[in-house]
Amino acid sequence: MDVLTQPVLVLNATYVPVAIRTVKDAVILLVLRKAELIKDEKGLFIRSEKLKFTTPRIILLTDYYKVPKRKHKLSRENIFLRDDHECVYCKRKLPSSRLTLDHVIPKSRWEEIPREKKPKDYHTWENLVTACRDCNTRKGNKLLQELKWEIPENRSTNKRRFPQFSVSTQLVEKFGWADYIRT
């Protein structure tokens, strides 16, 4: 991988992660004095005719940058994040590889539920939950009341907290960002 395209963690003036940019972008921000170097890779250099830099890994913006509220895209990983990688039925925390998505109201039963008792659509934040494979298999196409199961009401995106900024554990470990990012 070209050094200039490697990732650099960008922190706002209050040390909150706000972005991941390339080494090239980070060097430009450093040269323009719009950022300060927080962490670099000592043995890896970027050279030009007149300048020599160690490769930045973490930079701090000199001006405050407000972290914008993010509208989270409906995706498998975002459902897992919302539910904290926990099966909503048995409450076991598991890695993503051992989790599935479950439609609370199965597609095969969608039409028999009155409109006022179901979300506006089948594939929505309100109808999707994190489930372990065992619970999802046991549930099948049954409704929760048929199984006498309940799930917490606070699972919608408006009520459950998302991390403002998430990065893979591999990147955090590889580039030494652990002091600034919780995985």
CATH number (domain holding residue 110): 1.10.30
Output Rg (C-alpha) for the chain, integer angstroms: 22
How far apart are alpha carbons 59 and 22 in whole angstroms? 11
Asked if residue 80 and residue 63 are part of one domain, the reply reads: no
The lowest-confidence range among 40-49, 59-68, 83-92, 157-166 is 157-166
pTM exceeding the 0.75 threshold for the entire prediction: no
How far apart are alpha carbons 183 and 178 in whole angstroms? 8
Asked if residue 170 and residue 138 are part of one domain, the reply reads: no
How far apart are alpha carbons 147 and 94 in whole angstroms? 23
Domain extent for 37: 3-67+164-180
pLDDT (average), residues 2-28? 91
Q: What is the pLDDT of residue 39?
A: 96
Q: Give a yes or no: residue 158 inside a domain.
A: no
Q: Give a yes or no: residue 50 inside a domain.
A: yes
How far apart are alpha carbons 139 and 146 in whole angstroms? 9
**Residue 156: which pLDDT band, with cuts at 50, 70 and 90?**
very low
Q: Give a yes or no: residue 152 inside a domain.
A: no
